[in-house]
Amino acid sequence: MSVNFKELLSVNLDEVKAPAALPEGTYHGNIASFEYGDNNKNKTPYVRFGLKFHSASDDVDPKDLADIDLSARKMSTDFYLTPDARFRLKDFLESLGMKTAGSTFDELIPEAVGQSVIAYITQRFNPERPDDPPRNNIKSVKGE
């Protein structure tokens, strides 16, 4: 299937709006994907896990989610691969129930896809543009 850039780029910009931020709270989902990259600024290598959510915990008011299709939301979380930061990725993989003893990241990272996670999502505001709607951040994520 070919991408129709003509159609994608012919959208009236007056109609382009940021999606509403998720209410702050705890969400349940799965790891949908992973990819490797490096931070553009200082070339720090990382692995990025793509997350899809299917439900919210009791700390999120269902009324606040009424106009949000949670199944259409995707977020990601990054783990740096530097020697001083790798322990965080190891802890995360262990929280998914993976046995890390005798394993390598190269072996376990692909196996993380499909695993259940629980994430605490916060809202952040742009101090330079206080009238802009809030955006979301993942404060913490672990296996469920």
Q: What is the pLDDT of residues 112-139, one digit of tens each?
A: 999 999 999 999 888 888 888 888 889 9
Please determine, for residue 57, whether its predicted confidence score (pLDDT) is greater than 80: yes
Note the helical H segments in 16-77: none
Closest CA to 81 of 143, 138, 118, 34: 34
pLDDT for the residue 144? 86
> pLDDT above 70 covers what percent of the chain?
99
Q: Which amino acid is at 107?
A: E
DSSP string, 60-87: S-GGGGTT--GGG-EEEEEEE-STTTHH
User: What integer pLDDT is reported at residue 40 of this predicted model?
Assistant: 74
